[in-house]
């Protein structure tokens, strides 16, 4: 039976269709999770997609974290369920306290819309288990606030516990220690700025996102 992947839809999300399509491509069973419903409907994996949830008012993710669905997502994560936050979804997960640190405006105030090489640093997470450690993947980024930051103690812990899941080969946004994606202590919650769902076919310029999408349904 194929794995059911729930994709959270907030007012202002704009990457949910790409994720739904990407999950179908790797033969998962995608479904939409509405922000106003306090349930994850028994899915096997949750993706919080990119976009501008609640207009990014106050701060990206600051309002979305109070949506009814987010309490269900937090409960699902606490029980060990895999939760992936992509781009704005990563911002939502940091605001919700499911991942440490914060995402600031890019270095040089540059909005980035390009494809960048990222290196897989850990393969024991729900996002990377079908990828090869050390593999360099070409994946699009599309953000203004993707400059990951955290205090020195958190950074030391992330490195000591091998919780940096993806690193930029060439840092595009000023992220501390070239961080493109991290996981929580239990390794079931992962956040990343790059968009693997936009690299799901050679027709889109890269199919390097497929190993990450396959990991979600493996």
Partner 1 sequence: MIFSVHVEVRLRPGIADPQGSTIERALPSLGFDGVTGVRVGKSIRFTVEGADEASARAEVEDMCRRFLTNPVIEDAVVELTAAEAAGASS
CA distances from 164 to 12, 46, 126, 138, 180 (A): 28, 20, 13, 18, 8
Work out how close the CB of 94 gets to partner 1 at its nearest, in angstroms, rounded to a whole number.
Answer: 8
Q: Are 96 and 61 in contact (CB under 8 A)?
A: yes
31 assigned to active site: no
Interface mask (CB under 8 A) for partner 1, residues 163-182, using x and -? -----------x--------
Q: Is the dihedral of CA 159, 161, 162, 165 positive or negative?
A: negative
How many residues bind partner 1, per CB under 8 A?
19
The yes or no reply on residue 62 touching partner 1 (CB under 8 A) is yes
The yes or no reply on residue 3 touching partner 1 (CB under 8 A) is no
Which one among 41, 105, 119, 129 touches partner 1, defined by CB under 8 A?
105
Catalytic-labelled residue, pool 15, 45, 87, 150 = 87
Q: Are 70 and 33 in contact (CB under 8 A)?
A: no
Restricted to residues 41-60, the positions that interact with partner 1 (CB under 8 A) are 58-59
15 assigned to active site: no
In this complex, which beta carbon is closest to partner 1, that of residue 10 or of residue 26? Answer: 10
Report helix, strand or coil for 137: strand
Which one among 95, 121, 178, 208 touches partner 1, defined by CB under 8 A?
95
202 assigned to active site: no
Q: Is 43 left (phi over 0), alpha (psi -120 to 50) or beta?
A: beta
Length of the chain: 218
Residue in the structure block whose two tokens are 């701060």 = 59
What is the contact surface with partner 1 in residues (CB under 8 A)?
Answer: 58-59, 62, 94-95, 100-102, 104-109, 147, 149-151, 174
Residues assigned a catalytic role: 87, 195, 197
């Amino acid at each position: 039976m194929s794995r059911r992947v729930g994709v959270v839809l907030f007012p202002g999300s704009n990457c949910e269709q790409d994720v739904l399509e990407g999950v179908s491509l790797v033969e998962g069973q995608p479904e939409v999770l509405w922000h106003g419903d306090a349930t994850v409907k028994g899915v096997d994996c949750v993706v919080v997609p990119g976009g501008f949830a609640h207009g990014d008012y106050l701060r990206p993710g600051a309002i979305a974290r109070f949506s009814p669905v987010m309490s269900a997502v937090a409960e699902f994560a606490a029980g060990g369920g895999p939760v992936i936050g992509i781009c704005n979804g990563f911002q939502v997960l940091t605001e919700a306290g499911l991942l440490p640190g914060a995402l600031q405006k890019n270095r040089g105030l540059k909005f980035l819309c390009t494809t960048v090489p990222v290196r897989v640093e850990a393969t024991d997470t729900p996002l990377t288990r079908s990828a090869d450690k050390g593999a360099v993947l070409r994946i699009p980024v599309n953000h203004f606030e993707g400059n990951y930051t955290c205090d020195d103690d958190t950074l030391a812990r992330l490195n000591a516990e091998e919780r940096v899941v993806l690193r930029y080969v060439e840092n595009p946004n000023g992220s501390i220690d070239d961080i493109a994606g991290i996981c929580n202590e239990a390794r079931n919650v992962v956040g990343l700025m790059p968009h693997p769902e936009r690299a799901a076919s050679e027709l889109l310029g890269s199919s390097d996102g497929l190993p990450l999408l396959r990991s979600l349904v493996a």
